[in-house]
Each structure stands twice: as structure tokens, then as C-alpha cells.
């Protein structure tokens, strides 16, 4: 990633929640609680899947990667937000902003692609159950995850270098609690027309690929489930997709609201609220969705508890 040196800005100010000073203590406790729950939930999911042999299946391989992404997400966004809530000067260095944006964008894109891969996994499991373990073998799963991580890092490199390839002469105030690409780009004193097109193209490409893959997978899944004659069979088939469908709806819904609808259509408060949802709340909620609605995970947790009690 090459960044131009034609800039007089050496740090940015993340105004974030500066207009909510009277809620500073509450927000600190709230976000800290979310951070702790996110760490506990995702580490627990990864650990349970790792130590439970019957969970060593393609579906849980993808779920453990989802938990890993959410875990990293929490470390990239929340600690700096907590620090800034307690400081009068809410600054982040130029390099720090570049680094935070790169990892944030990488993880966002990785989660989009991973949810698409999970949709394909559910499609194979429901539409071709006899070939499931053949099609979704260990090598294929690892290859899919490797490709999506590499693609995410490549897209993030384009996204981040595009945002920071311009000159920054001031002001240096970012209207968010993290280094969001569009607000950073708006601070440039250069012509950003081409850069906005590139940024929009990256967002459109990632979202269109991911949402199309999910949409097509669910069309085939639903058509297959509706052909199942027994109500019990339909219920079981739907239950295997329920957790993923909830996660997809929450995640893509918030991303589309943030990046597709023009910013003039909603206020800063709504923008900030949606950003909190997909950067903090969803990484905390995902482990709950996949554990509370999943009997295999519940049984694995019970076995672990029994082993600990007996020892």
C-alpha cells in the first residue's frame, strides 16, 4: 500500500460520541460489557468446536471462523472507542487510522464472504445431503476460507490506499468513532471524485457478490424444503438455516443501510447507531444465535461441564 506524503495532518480526531458527554460513563460501561461478552462468547464457541470431535464438520468450521472474525473485530474497534470515551482529546495517529481502517475493512469484507460461503454450505447440506461430505470436504473448506481471506485483504488494500492516497490539509475531525473510509475521504483537500467512485465500486462488488450468493442459495434451499412432505422434516431443515438467516439479515441489513443509502437520507445519530450495531453488537450476538439455537452446541457445552464436574 502506497500513501502520498503530501499532507500536513499527522493525526485525526474521532468525535464519535463527543455530543453525548452526559452519557460518557454509561456508554463506557455499555461498550465494555459488550466487549467482554464478545470475547467470552466467541472464545467459548471456538473452544467448544475445537474440543468436540462431533462438531468437526464443515458447518462448524465456518462458524469457528465467523467467531474468529468477530473476535478480531472487537479488538480493532472497541478498545480505541473505550479510550476515547474517557479522554478529552480523542485523537488517533495517521498511521493508526490507516491500520484501523485496513483491518476493519478486511474483517467486514471477510464476514460478508464467509456468510456467503456458509449459505453455500447450507445449500449443499439441504439440496444434496448424500454428497455433502464429499462436496464440502476438509480441503474444499480450507480452500474457500483461504481464498476469502486473501480476497478480503486485497479489497481492503484497495479500499484503504484509495482513502489515504489523497492530500490532507485539515480539518482532521472524523464524524464517527472509528476510521470509516468515506468520512476520512471527505477530509481530503484534493479532488475525491475518482476516489469516491473506487470506494463505491469496492462496496458494490463485495455486497453484490455476497448477497447474490446468499440469495441464490436460499432460493434453492427454500424450494427444496417446500418439497419435503413431512412437517417434521421441513422443521428440521428450516432449523439448520435459522441461525445463519438471522445473522445474514442483521449483518447485511446494517451494511446496506450504512453504505448503500446516501448519507443525506439519515442523521448522524442513525448512522452512528447502525455503525455500533454492526461493529460491536453483531459480533457479540452471533455466538448467542449459534449456541442458543443449536442443539449440537448445547450438548457439547453440557459434556464439557460434566467432564469438569467429574474431574
Helical (H) or strand (E) element with 142: helix 138-164
Residue 99 has pLDDT above 90, yes or no: yes
Q: What would the pLDDT profile of 199-256 be if each residue is shown by its tens digit?
A: 889 889 999 999 999 999 999 999 999 888 888 888 888 888 888 899 999 999 888 8
Domain 11-310, CATH class in plain words: mainly alpha
pLDDT at 170 over 60: yes
Nearest CA-CA partner of 96 in 184, 32, 34: 184
pLDDT tens by residue, 11-22? 899 987 877 878
Verify cis geometry, omega within 30 degrees of 0, for the bond prior to 171.
Answer: yes
Q: Within a 10 A sphere around the Cβ of 56, how many other Cβ atoms?
A: 12
Say what the pLDDT of residue 235 is. Answer: 84
Q: How confident is the model at residue 6 (pLDDT cuts 50, 70, 90)?
A: low
**For the segment 123-162, what is each residue's pLDDT rounded down to a tens digit?**
999 999 999 999 999 999 999 999 999 999 999 999 899 8
Percent of the chain with pLDDT over 90: 51
Q: Are 304 and 272 in contact (CB under 8 A)?
A: no
- H or E element: which one contains 174? strand 173-174
Report domain extents, the chain: 11-310
Mean pLDDT of the chain: 87
Tell the residue number behind the cell numbers 464457541, with chain if given: 45
Residue 7 is predicted with a pLDDT of 61
Does residue 266 carry a pLDDT above 80?
no
Amino acid at each position: 500500500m502506497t500513501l502520498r506524503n503530501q499532507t500536513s495532518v499527522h493525526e485525526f480526531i474521532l468525535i464519535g460520541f463527543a455530543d453525548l458527554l452526559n452519557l460518557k460513563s454509561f456508554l463506557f460501561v455499555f461498550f465494555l460489557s459488550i466487549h467482554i461478552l464478545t470475547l467470552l462468547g466467541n472464545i467459548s464457541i471456538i473452544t467448544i468446536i475445537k474440543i468436540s470431535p462431533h462438531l468437526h464438520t464443515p458447518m462448524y468450521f465456518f462458524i469457528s471462523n465467523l467467531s474468529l472474525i468477530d473476535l478480531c473485530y472487537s479488538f480493532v474497534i472497541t478498545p480505541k472507542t473505550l479510550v476515547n470515551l474517557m479522554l478529552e482529546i480523542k485523537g488517533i495517529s495517521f498511521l493508526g487510522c490507516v491500520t484501523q481502517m485496513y483491518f476493519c475493512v478486511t474483517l467486514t469484507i471477510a464476514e460478508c464472504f464467509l456468510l456467503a460461503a456458509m449459505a453455500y454450505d447450507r445449500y449443499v447440506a439441504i439440496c444434496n445431503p448424500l454428497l455433502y461430505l464429499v462436496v464440502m470436504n476438509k480441503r474444499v473448506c480450507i480452500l474457500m476460507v483461504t481464498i476469502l481471506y486473501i480476497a478480503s485483504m486485497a479489497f481492503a488494500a484497495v479500499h484503504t490506499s484509495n482513502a489515504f492516497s489523497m492530500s490532507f490539509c485539515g480539518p482532521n475531525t472524523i464524524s464517527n468513532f472509528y476510521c470509516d473510509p468515506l468520512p476520512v475521504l471527505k477530509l481530503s483537500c484534493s479532488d475525491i471524485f475518482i476516489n469516491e467512485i473506487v470506494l463505491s465500486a469496492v462496496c458494490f462488488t463485495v455486497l453484490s457478490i455476497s448477497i447474490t450468493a446468499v440469495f441464490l442459495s436460499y432460493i434453492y434451499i427454500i424450494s427444496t424444503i417446500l418439497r419435503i412432505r413431512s412437517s417434521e422434516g421441513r422443521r428440521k431443515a428450516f432449523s439448520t438455516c435459522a441461525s445463519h438467516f438471522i445473522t445474514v439479515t442483521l449483518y447485511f441489513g446494517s451494511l446496506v443501510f450504512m453504505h448503500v443509502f446516501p448519507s443525506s437520507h439519515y442523521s448522524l445519530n442513525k448512522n452512528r447507531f447502525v455503525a455500533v450495531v454492526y461493529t460491536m453488537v453483531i459480533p457479540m450476538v452471533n455466538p448467542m444465535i449459534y449456541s442458543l439455537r443449536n442443539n449440537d452446541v448445547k450438548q457439547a457445552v453440557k459434556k464439557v461441564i460434566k467432564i469438569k464436574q467429574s474431574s
